[in-house]
Amino acid sequence: MTRTFRMDEAQPRLLDDTAQGVIGTPMDRPEGPLKVTGKAAYAADNLPEGLAHGALVRATITRGRIAGIDEDSIADLPGVIAVIRDDRFVRNPAQGMADEAPVQPGDRIDYHGQPIALVVGESYEAARDGALRLKVRYDEDAGAEVDPATASETEDGDPTESGDWDKAVAGATVSVDVTYTTPAQVSAAMEPHAAVAEWKADRLVLRGSQQMLRFNRNEIADSLGIDPEDVQILSPYIGGGFGSKLGIGSEAVSAAIAARELGRPVRVVMTRQTVFDAVLRRTETEQRVRFAADGEGRLLAIGHDDRISNLRDEEFAEPVSSASQFLYGADALLFRQTVARVHRTPAGSVRAPGEAVGMIAFESAMDELAEALEMCPVQLRLKNIPEKHPVTGQDFSARALAECLKTGADRFGWPGRTVPGSRREGDWMIGLGVASAARPNMLVKAAARVRLSAEGAVVETDMTDIGTGTYAIFAQIAAEMLGLPTGKVSVRLGDTDLPGASGSGGSFGASSSGSAVFLAARKIRETLAGKLGCSPEDLTLRDGIARGANHEAALSDLLDGELVEEAEIEEGKTAESHFSSGFGAHFAEVAVNAWTGEVRVRRMLGVFGIGRVLNEKTARSQAVGGMVWGVGSALHEDLVHDPRTGHVVTRDLANYHVAAHADIPADMQVEFLEERDDQANPMQSKGVGELGISGSGAAILNAIHNACGVRIRDLPATPDKLV
Ligand code: MOS
């Protein structure tokens, strides 16, 4: 039976009262040894009997139509089986949580590198050879526009505004009006996109690398024109997603179509270059940030305008000013967005869409304001924390922003910060920087099933673990609730035949799907309490014994074989009256070489309030991973497009530099403040995955300014801009 939860039924103290002490502990990921010894089978590791291999053919023009494909051009190549060309091929991955097929452009080409056909071979090498040699004729359209700065087609979003802008600005003592530009980025997940498709009678079994199976099943069914019931997706292990695997993509759809046509299983693995070409990128941005303040540093006006880009029929628009709308308050607010339509690889969600790029500019501009006011940047931020959400008027639920700033400043030695350019160690100029962190917390519909028997518990849900710790966290939740050691809980994930979960995205996975696990386990507790004749609040489960107020019994005697409960948590019902967000503060110390402009990050500290911490180790890893990406965003990452064709130039991990081990200091500290968010979900936990990247790059840029007095507004901060 499925039981749906509403927030008013919450028993927020239950997790504290069960007192097993399992939740929150730094439990290792149980699948870790499988992954590092090569025993975990990722999508491409599945090699069913009779497997054929597909390689995606990609457009070599920017805009136009396919006039014809000369299949004879590769007919004599040894090992080539077929050329598959189908109007149902998708142009680019679905944007996530879509439930519908992504854009299927027929014979139209909208960007250089777009997947247009699949060559299938007996071996991967044969397929790849065929894909490279296949002759495609095009009707090229000369009207491609690839530069977002000059694109003739633009759309303005509805502005978000309040207060009297002109009046607020006129009354200001100090103001800042600055423009920042950030380059496009890619997710660069370690595991390339891959799919193995196999039809069992009329049912598609797809082994893929996907983040959100409940949606992905519907998306691929819609792409193929079949019933979602006739699709099973299996994604037990995923080598990173960061948004790039939120929606179904061309590797999965083409593999499914080819497998059906050929009557044998087909595997499609993207090369690294194809991943860069054909997977959603993060848009480049141009951002104008305006602040007006009185002489004491009280903000009178906050403005954040951005210009981003995407392909014409893509609805996704990077929410650049997301955090700018609630971090600080002012009399007047103005947020505007323009989307430029370009013929480039489509833009979509990349870790913390919005905050990741928006906060770099916004929090750097805040540093510029502090400088103009001759005020401490920590004090300036503390002074402007609003009482209510400045746009919606909602109350905030647990919000640790001030405490994170104060605690972090204390731990990091912030009072020792000197004026820009004044601290030097030999050839190196040293500086400290700070930035706030914020990322809204979401709750997404999710279901899970828990089975309890004398042997232990089993958790079953189609939730994914993209490297984030889901296997560990769900074992901890079930263990906590059912009085079991975590070794007695097995967790089954990544199979659409199991109850539909939230999927992994938007930092909502562990809390949303974990809440479903919590509720299913709570239902089991209620049943056991009934059998023992006590109220659920009085029940303790420990060491195989169930104790009520007056009775106790061996758990194995209470269980009639197996107890099975399924529960579902409802979408976003919790945040209507309150605004729930993770908050934090980033601190960075950098050294800038006076001769070469080389920047070395010497230490970083992130202090965060994320509600209840579900697993201290996986949460810390998420925070550190985000902070590392902040280093990459500030200093290295730059997805360069050819100005003639829009084709991605930096399309491998040699040319697109993500922060490497040598770029990251050993001293990366993370601290989580003790917090419970009663408005978030029944576990009082919030998302953490994207909070670490939100603002961290700004702390580095601000530290660079403090070190050498140079303000970098055109990212990344490469050495040529610093000397
Ligand atoms: Mo995330 S960018 O929603 O995987």
Query: Tokens for 117?
Result: 């056909």
Q: Residue 504 Cα, ligand 1 centroid: separation in angstroms?
A: 7
pLDDT score recorded for residue 576: 72
Both 205 and 78 in a single domain? Answer: yes
Contact assessment for residue 287 and residue 179, using Cβ atoms and an 8 Å cutoff? yes
The answer to whether residue 182 is domain-embedded is no
The answer to whether residue 331 is domain-embedded is no
Both 65 and 82 in a single domain? Answer: yes
533, 528, 534: which is closest to 558 by C-alpha?
528
152, 189, 146, 228: which is closest to 43 by C-alpha?
189
**C-alpha distance across the termini of the chain, in Å:** 66
Higher pLDDT, 301 or 98: 301
Rounded mean pLDDT of the chain?
95
Q: Residue 359 Cα, ligand 1 centroid: separation in angstroms?
A: 17
Task: Classify 162 as helix, strand or coil.
Answer: strand
Determine the Cα angle at 583 with ends 310 and 476, to 5°.
100
Q: Residue 660 Cα, ligand 1 centroid: separation in angstroms?
A: 22
Query: Tokens for 19?
Result: 């007192």
Q: Residue 643 Cα, ligand 1 centroid: separation in angstroms?
A: 28
User: Ligand 1: which residue has its CA nearest to atom 4?
Assistant: 243
User: Max alpha carbon distance in the chain (Å)?
Assistant: 82
Q: Which long-range contacts (CB under 8 A, 24 or more apart) does 314-317 make?
A: 314/92, 314/95, 314/103, 314/346, 314/347, 314/348, 315/95, 316/95, 316/280, 316/346, 316/347, 316/348, 316/349, 317/157
Decide if pLDDT at 1 tops 50: no
178, 188, 248: which is closest to 212 by C-alpha?
248
Both 432 and 380 in a single domain? Answer: yes
The answer to whether residue 177 is domain-embedded is no
Q: What is the DSSP string of 380-400?
A: HHHHT--SS-TTT-PEESS--
- Give Cα 642 distance to the centre of its chain: 27
Q: Residue 441 Cα, ligand 1 centroid: separation in angstroms?
A: 13
Q: What is the DSSP letter of 244?
A: T
Q: Helical H runs in 212-354?
A: 213-224, 250-262, 272-278
Q: What's the CA gap between 432 and 602, in Å, rounded?
A: 10
pLDDT score recorded for residue 217: 97
Residue 66 belongs to a domain with what CATH number?
A: 3.30.365.10
450, 466, 462: which is closest to 526 by C-alpha?
450
Residue 78: partners with Cβ closer than 8 Å, 6 or more residues away: 126
Contact assessment for residue 355 and residue 583, using Cβ atoms and an 8 Å cutoff? no
Residue 303: partners with Cβ closer than 8 Å, 6 or more residues away: 165, 288, 289, 290, 291, 333, 334, 335
Structural domain range at position 474: 2-40+444-569
Q: Which of 235, 256, 278 is the last residue of a domain?
A: 278
Query: Tokens for 70?
Result: 């000369």
**Ligand 1: nearest atom to the Cα of 244:** 4
Q: What's the CA gap between 520 and 569, in Å, rounded?
A: 10
pLDDT score recorded for residue 2: 46
How many domains does the chain fold into? 3
Q: Residue 348 Cα, ligand 1 centroid: separation in angstroms?
A: 9
The answer to whether residue 320 is domain-embedded is no
Contact assessment for residue 705 and residue 422, using Cβ atoms and an 8 Å cutoff? no
Both 588 and 706 in a single domain? Answer: yes
Strand partners, 568: 4, 447
Q: What average pLDDT score do residues 275-281 get?
A: 95
**Ligand 1: nearest atom to the Cα of 245:** 4
- pTM here? 0.96
Probe target for ligand 1 pocket from 213, 349, 463, 508, with the most ligand atoms within 8 Å of CB:
349
Label each residue of 535-568 as H, E or C: CHHHCEEECCEEECCCCEEEHHHHCCCCEEEEEE
Q: Of the given ranges (17-26, 135-144, 388-397, 438-447), which has the lowest mean pLDDT? A: 17-26
Both 465 and 591 in a single domain? Answer: no
Both 629 and 674 in a single domain? Answer: yes
Contact assessment for residue 297 and residue 380, using Cβ atoms and an 8 Å cutoff? yes
The answer to whether residue 229 is domain-embedded is yes
Both 635 and 686 in a single domain? Answer: yes
The answer to whether residue 285 is domain-embedded is no
Both 83 and 111 in a single domain? Answer: yes
**Ligand 1: nearest atom to the Cα of 187:** 2
Q: Residue 689 Cα, ligand 1 centroid: separation in angstroms?
A: 9
pLDDT score recorded for residue 10: 55
Q: Which of 569, 598, 616 is the last residue of a domain?
A: 569
Both 34 and 53 in a single domain? Answer: no
For the four alpha carbons of 458, 459, 461 and 465, in that order, the dihedral sign comes to negative
pLDDT score recorded for residue 570: 87
Decide if pLDDT at 577 tops 90: no
Q: Residue 21 Cα, ligand 1 centroid: separation in angstroms?
A: 30
Decide if pLDDT at 11 tops 60: no
Contact assessment for residue 269 and residue 192, using Cβ atoms and an 8 Å cutoff? yes
Determine the Cα angle at 328 with ends 679 and 505, to 5°.
50
ipTM above 0.90, yes or no: yes
Residue 328: partners with Cβ closer than 8 Å, 6 or more residues away: 299, 302, 366, 381, 384, 385, 386, 390
609, 610, 608: which is closest to 681 by C-alpha?
610
Decide if pLDDT at 289 tops 80: yes
Q: What average pLDDT score do residues 117-144 get?
A: 97
Contact assessment for residue 686 and residue 438, using Cβ atoms and an 8 Å cutoff? no
Q: Which of 569, 597, 616 is the last residue of a domain?
A: 569
Q: What's the CA gap between 227 and 234, in Å, rounded?
A: 17
Probe target for ligand 1 pocket from 95, 193, 210, 246, with the most ligand atoms within 8 Å of CB:
246
Q: What percent of the chain has pLDDT over 90?
A: 91
Query: Tokens for 711?
Result: 């303000």
Residue ranges around ligand 1 (CB below 6 Å) = 211, 241-243, 246, 349-351, 353, 505-506
Q: What percent of the chain has pLDDT over 70?
A: 97
Query: Tokens for 680?
Result: 């978030």
Both 36 and 48 in a single domain? Answer: no
pLDDT tens sequence across 522-549: 999 999 999 999 998 889 998 889 999 8
Q: What's the CA gap between 368 and 661, in Å, rounded?
A: 31
pLDDT tens sequence across 374-407: 999 999 999 999 999 999 999 999 999 999 999 9
Cα dist from 707 to 215, 260, 710, 714, 722, whole Å: 47, 61, 8, 18, 11
Q: What is the DSSP letter of 495?
A: B
Q: What's the CA gap between 452 and 484, in Å, rounded?
A: 10
Q: Of the given ranges (7-16, 128-137, 172-181, 224-233), which has the lowest mean pLDDT? A: 7-16
Q: What's the CA gap between 218 and 336, in Å, rounded?
A: 34
Q: Is 302 left (phi over 0), alpha (psi -120 to 50) or beta?
A: beta
**Ligand 1: nearest atom to the Cα of 96:** 3
Q: Of the given ranges (336-345, 469-478, 676-685, 695-704), which has the lowest mean pLDDT? A: 676-685
pLDDT score recorded for residue 544: 85
**Ligand 1: nearest atom to the Cα of 504:** 4
Both 14 and 61 in a single domain? Answer: no
Which residues have a catalytic role annotated? 690
Contact assessment for residue 452 and residue 482, using Cβ atoms and an 8 Å cutoff? yes
Decide if pLDDT at 349 tops 70: yes
pLDDT band at 181 (very low <50, low <70, confident <90, very high): very high
**At residue 372, what are phi and psi to the nearest 5 degrees?**
-65, -35
Q: Residue 627 Cα, ligand 1 centroid: separation in angstroms?
A: 16
Task: Classify 644 as helix, strand or coil.
Answer: coil
* Element (DSSP H or E) covering residue 703: helix 696-708
**At residue 252, what are phi and psi to the nearest 5 degrees?**
-75, -45
pLDDT score recorded for residue 4: 52
The answer to whether residue 209 is domain-embedded is yes
Query: Tokens for 157?
Result: 């979003």
Q: How many CA atoms lie within 13 A of 522 on its CB side?
A: 24
Decide if pLDDT at 609 tops 90: yes
The answer to whether residue 321 is domain-embedded is no
Both 611 and 507 in a single domain? Answer: no
**Ligand 1: nearest atom to the Cα of 349:** 2
Helix-then-strand count for the chain, H and E: 15, 31
